[in-house]
C-alpha cells in the first residue's frame, strides 16, 4: 500500500498526542526555566573566606577610617569605623573600591602620548630640568602639602636652583583645625558644609549643635538645608563680611548683615569658613582664632606657595600631582613658560591634566598601594594614618613621591619614607593611637617601638597629636577673591557653579546622577523659572549656554529656589563669566 499522506498525518498526530502525555514537555519546560534562571552573561560573585581589613580613605582630605569586608583579598564593601573622629563614609568612600575599575585609567607611563619606559621619562624630565634658564623655575604642584610625600618634593626642589613647591589648596584651610564640637554657629562663605566639607560623619554628628548661615549665590545642597540662606554674588563675599562686622558693632543699615549678626550674637562661639578673605575677616572680628569653638592651630603645618601667586609664564617644568579635583587648565597654562615647557602629570587618570601633559607617570589609585592619610581637614590636632593597600598594585604604576625620588636619584621606596615618618612620630612620643579594629586608644608611649607602631598602623590605626598649648594666633593673609564678572547686554546672566558630579567615581554613582533626580547631571543648567521664561526656555528643554569664551550644550532645569539672573552650571569648573542661554 505504501506510506500515504494519511498515514503521515496519523503518525504526526499520534506522536504529538503521545509526546504530550510523556514527561518530555515537562522536562523541556523545566529546562527552559533553568535557562531563564541561569541567564547567560550574569556574573557569579566569587566566593572565598570573608575577612575584615582596615585602611584609611585617601579620596579627599577628610581621611576617614575604613573597614573593608573582603572576600579573600578582594574588598566587596566598605564601611566607616566606629569611634573614629569621622565615623562614617560618604558616597565616594562607600564605593571607593570600584575606583580601580573606572574608565580612563592610565595603565602605563606615557611620553608624548605613547607608552614609555620609566628611564625614558626620567631622562627626558631631568634634561628639561637641567635646561632651565635663570628666570625659569621647576615647580611641583602638591595636592596636599604637609605629607611625607610633600617632604620628598621639598627636598628635591631645594636641591634645584629654582624649585617652587606650590599647591592650590588654601593655606588658611590647611593651617587651622576647627573645634566643630564646640562651635555654635557657622557662617559659610560658599563652603559645602553639609555636603562634602571636612568629614561628613563628624559634621553631621554635630549638626544639631550649630546654626548654619550659608552665604553664597548658588542654591547649593548646603544652602537648601541651612538655617539662614544669604544669597550674595561671588566676588562680593568680602564686602558682605565687612557689612556683618559693621552690624556686629551696631550698624543695621544692611538688613541681611544685621540678621546674620543677630544670629551670631545669640549663638556663640561662632566661626566663619569658606572663601578665604571673607572668612578670615569675619573670623578676626569674631576672635575665632585660637579659642575653643573656633579655629585651632596645630602642629605639622607646612606652607607651600599658592599657585595663583607664582609669576605668570615662569615655570619651565611643571610636575602636577593630581589630587581628587582637577584644576582648570587655563589657570595652570598661564604659569607656564611660553615655549619649551614640560608638563609632567603624576596621575592615575588619562583625562584631567594628563590631556595636556608631555609625560604621564601612571600612578596607583586608592587601595592599590600603600599611601598616607595626613592630618584630616579640620582636625583640631595633627594626625596621621596609613592607607594600606587592599588590592594588588597593577604593574607599571609608580606613586608620585617615588617618581620624584627617582628623579632625585634616591633609591628608597615610598613605604620607606612612610616608615621614617612613623618612626619620627614614635620618637616624638606625643599623642595617642586609635586602633580601628577594637576602637581603643593607646598612649603612644605604651607602644614599645617604631616597628610595633608601624605594624599597628598597617593594621589600621590613627595617631592623634596632643593639642598645641595656648598661644595667640593670627590669620594668614589670603589672596583677594576673584571678582565677579559684570553682565553685559549680550551676556546678561552670571554663570555660577552648582554641585557637580565627581570626575572619577564608582560607576554606581549613576544611582545619584542618572537613575534618580537626587543630583544634577553634569549637563544641567539650573535657572529661576522667570529667568528661563525671559530667555524663551521651557523646563527640561535642550539649551545652549554661551559666554565670551566658551559655549556648552545643556539641559535647562527650572528651579524657583535659584537666584534670578544667574545660570547654575553643574559641570566641573564653569567659567567665571557673564553669559546667556537660549533654547536649541
Partner 1 sequence: MPEIDRQLIARGVKRASPRQFLLWIVPWCALLAFGLYGAGLCLVKGLNQTNMDNRFAFGLWIFLDLTIIALGAGAFFTGFLLYILKKRELKAVINSAVVIGFICYSGAVAALLVDVGQPLRFWFTFWHPNVHSMLTEVTFCIACYLTVLLIEYVPIVLKNRKLRQIPSFLVFEFELHKLMPVLAGVGTFLSFFHQGSLGGLYGVLRGRPFAFREGFAIWPSTFFLFILSAAAAGPAFILLTTWLVSKISGKALVRTEVLPLLGRISGVLLVPYILLKAIDTLIWINNTAPARGFPAHQFYSSKPFGAWILFAEIAVFGLLPALILLRRRLRESTGWLVSAAGLVCLGVALNRFVFTIQTLALPTLPFDPFLSYLPSWQETATFLAVVAYGVLVYSFSFRYLTLFPQEKDLPC
Partner 2 sequence: MAAPITKPARYGMAIDLDRCTGCGACMIACAVENNVPPARPEATPRTGITWMRVYQISNGAPFPDSRAAFIPVLCQQCGNETPCAAVCPQEAVEVDPATGIVDQMPQRCLGCRYCMAACPYHARYFNWWDPQWPTGMEKTLNPDVAPRMRGVVEKCNFCHGRLHAARARAAAEGRSELRPGEYVPACVEACPAGAIVFGDLDDPASEVARLARDGHSFRILERLGTEPKIYYRTARPWVRQAAAEPARRQESAHA
Report DSSP letters for 252-308, one per residue: -SSHHHHHHHHHHHHS-SEEEEESHHHHHHHHHHHT-BTSTTSEEE-TT----EEGG
Name the one residue in this structure whose C-alpha cell is 585660637.
290
Q: Which is nearer to partner 2, 97 or 298 (CB)?
A: 97
- Closest Cα to residue 90, out of 211, 202, 187? 202
**Site residues (CB under 8 A) for partner 2, limited to 456-475:** none
> Is the distance from CB of 493 to CB of 575 less than 8 angstroms?
no
Assess 37 for contact with partner 2 (CB under 8 A). yes
Instruction: Give me the least distance between CB of 33 and partner 2, in Å please.
Output: 9
Instruction: Give me the least distance between CB of 269 and partner 2, in Å please.
Output: 23
Q: How far apart are CA 122 and CA 161, in angstroms?
A: 19
Using DSSP's 3-state secondary structure scheme, residue 358 falls into coil
Output the nine-digit C-alpha cell for 108: 602605563
Q: Which is nearer to partner 1, 104 or 515 (CB)?
A: 515
Q: Which is nearer to partner 2, 11 or 101 (CB)?
A: 101
Q: How far apart are CA 380 and CA 182, in angstroms?
A: 11
- Helix (H), strand (E) counts: the chain: 17, 28
Q: What is the dihedral of CA 234, 238, 242, 244, to 10 degrees?
A: 50
| Bond preceding residue 269 cis, omega within 30 of 0 | yes
Q: How far apart are CA 230 and CA 538, in angstroms?
A: 27
Binding-site size, partner 2 (CB under 8 A): 66
Residue 115 interacts with which of partner 1, partner 2, none, CB < 5 to 8 Å by class: none
Instruction: Give me the least distance between CB of 227 and partner 1, in Å please.
Output: 23
Residue 32 interacts with which of partner 2, partner 1, none, CB < 5 to 8 Å by class: partner 1
Binding mask 89-108 for partner 2 (x = CB under 8 A): xxx--xx-xx-xxxx-----
- Closest Cα to residue 543, out of 529, 534, 551, 553? 553
Residue 35 interacts with which of partner 2, partner 1, none, CB < 5 to 8 Å by class: partner 1
Q: How far apart are CA 347 and CA 325, in angstroms?
A: 11
**Site residues (CB under 8 A) for partner 1, limited to 19-38:** 29, 32-33, 35-36
Q: Which is nearer to partner 1, 33 or 340 (CB)?
A: 33
E runs forming strands in 374-412 = 383-387
Q: How far apart are CA 414 and CA 392, in angstroms?
A: 16
Assess 516 for contact with partner 1 (CB under 8 A). no
Q: Which of 423, 450, 512, 572 binds partner 2 (CB under 8 A)?
A: 512
Residue 412 interacts with which of partner 2, partner 1, none, CB < 5 to 8 Å by class: none
Instruction: Give me the least distance between CB of 558 and partner 2, in Å please.
Output: 8
Output the nine-digit C-alpha cell for 464: 592623634
Instruction: Give me the least distance between CB of 42 and partner 1, in Å please.
Output: 13
Instruction: Give me the least distance between CB of 101 and partner 1, in Å please.
Output: 23
Residue 194 interacts with which of partner 1, partner 2, none, CB < 5 to 8 Å by class: partner 2
Angle between helices 400-407 and 118-130 (to 10 degrees): 60
Residue 259 interacts with which of partner 1, partner 2, none, CB < 5 to 8 Å by class: none
Residue 562 interacts with which of partner 2, partner 1, none, CB < 5 to 8 Å by class: partner 2
Point out which residues bind partner 1 (CB under 8 A): 29, 32-33, 35-36
Q: Which residues bind partner 2 (CB under 8 A)?
A: 36-37, 39, 41-43, 45-48, 71, 74-80, 88-91, 94-95, 97-98, 100-103, 194-195, 200-201, 204-205, 207, 219, 221, 224-226, 229, 231, 506-512, 514-520, 528, 557, 559-564
Amino acid at each position: 500500500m505504501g506510506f500515504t499522506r494519511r498515514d503521515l498525518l496519523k503518525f504526526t498526530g499520534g506522536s504529538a498526542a503521545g509526546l504530550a502525555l510523556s514527561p518530555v514537555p515537562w522536562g523541556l519546560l523545566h529546562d527552559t526555566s533553568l535557562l531563564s534562571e541561569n541567564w547567560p552573561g550574569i556574573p557569579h560573585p566569587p566566593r572565598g573566606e570573608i575577612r575584615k581589613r582596615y585602611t584609611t580613605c585617601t579620596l579627599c582630605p577628610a581621611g576617614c577610617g575604613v573597614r573593608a569586608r573582603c572576600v579573600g583579598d578582594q574588598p566587596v564593601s566598605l564601611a566607616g569605623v566606629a569611634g573614629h573622629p569621622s565615623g562614617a563614609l560618604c558616597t565616594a568612600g562607600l564605593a571607593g573600591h570600584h575606583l580601580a575599575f573606572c574608565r580612563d585609567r592610565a595603565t602605563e607611563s606615557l611620553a608624548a602620548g605613547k607608552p614609555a619606559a620609566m628611564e625614558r621619562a626620567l631622562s627626558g624630565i631631568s634634561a628639561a630640568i637641567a635646561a632651565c634658564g635663570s628666570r625659569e623655575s621647576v615647580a611641583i604642584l602638591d595636592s596636599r602639602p604637609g605629607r611625607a610625600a610633600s617632604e620628598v618634593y621639598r627636598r628635591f626642589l631645594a636641591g634645584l636652583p629654582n624649585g617652587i613647591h606650590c599647591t592650590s589648596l588654601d593655606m588658611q584651610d590647611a593651617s587651622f583645625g576647627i573645634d566643630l564640637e564646640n562651635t555654635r554657629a557657622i557662617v559659610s562663605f560658599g563652603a559645602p558644609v553639609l555636603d562634602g566639607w571636612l568629614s561628613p560623619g563628624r559634621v553631621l554628628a554635630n549638626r544639631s549643635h550649630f546654626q548654619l548661615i550659608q552665604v553664597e549665590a548658588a542654591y547649593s545642597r548646603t544652602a537648601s538645608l541651612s538655617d539662614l540662606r544669604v544669597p550674595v554674588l561671588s566676588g562680593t563675599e568680602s564686602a558682605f563680611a565687612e557689612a556683618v562686622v559693621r552690624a556686629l558693632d551696631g550698624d543695621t543699615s544692611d538688613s541681611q548683615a544685621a540678621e546674620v549678626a543677630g544670629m551670631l550674637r545669640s549663638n556663640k562661639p561662632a566661626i566663619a569658613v569658606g572663601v578665604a578673605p571673607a572668612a578670615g575677616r569675619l573670623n578676626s572680628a569674631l576672635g575665632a582664632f585660637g579659642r575653643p569653638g573656633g579655629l585651632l592651630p596645630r602642629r605639622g603645618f607646612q606652607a607651600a606657595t599658592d599657585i595663583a601667586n607664582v609669576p605668570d609664564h615662569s615655570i619651565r617644568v611643571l610636575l602636577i600631582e593630581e589630587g581628587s579635583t582637577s584644576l582648570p587648565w587655563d589657570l595652570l597654562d598661564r604659569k607656564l613658560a611660553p615655549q619649551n615647557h614640560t608638563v609632567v602629570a603624576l596621575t592615575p587618570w588619562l583625562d584631567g591634566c594628563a590631556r595636556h601633559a608631555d609625560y604621564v607617570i601612571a600612578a596607583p589609585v586608592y587601595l592599590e598601594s600603600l599611601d598616607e592619610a595626613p592630618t584630616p581637614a579640620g582636625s583640631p590636632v595633627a594626625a596621621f594614618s596609613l592607607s594600606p593597600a587592599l588590592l594588588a598594585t597593577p604593574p607599571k604604576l609608580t606613586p608620585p613621591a617615588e617618581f620624584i625620588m627617582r628623579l632625585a636619584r634616591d633609591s628608597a621606596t615610598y613605604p620607606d619614607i612612610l616608615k621614617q615618618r612613623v618612626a619620627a612620630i614614635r620618637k616624638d612620643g606625643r599623642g595617642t593611637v586609635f586602633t580601628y579594629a577594637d576602637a581603643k586608644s593607646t598612649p603612644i608611649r605604651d607602644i614599645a617601638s617604631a616597628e610595633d607602631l608601624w605594624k599597628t598602623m598597617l593594621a589600621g590605626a590613627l595617631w592623634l597629636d596632643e593639642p598645641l598649648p595656648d598661644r595667640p594666633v593670627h590669620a594668614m593673609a589670603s589672596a583677594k577673591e576673584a571678582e565677579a564678572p559684570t553682565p553685559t547686554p549680550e551676556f546678561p546672566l552670571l554663570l555660577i557653579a552648582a554641585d557637580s558630579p565627581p570626575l572619577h567615581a564608582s560607576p554606581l554613582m549613576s544611582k545619584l546622577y542618572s537613575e534618580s533626580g537626587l543630583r544634577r547631571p553634569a549637563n544641567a543648567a539650573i535657572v529661576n523659572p522667570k529667568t528661563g521664561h525671559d530667555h524663551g526656555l521651557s523646563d527640561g528643554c535642550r539649551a545652549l549656554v554661551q559666554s565670551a569664551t566658551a559655549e556648552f550644550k545643556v539641559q535647562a532645569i527650572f528651579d524657583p529656589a535659584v537666584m534670578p539672573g544667574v545660570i547654575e552650571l553643574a559641570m566641573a569648573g564653569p567659567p567665571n563669566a557673564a553669559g546667556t542661554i537660549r533654547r536649541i
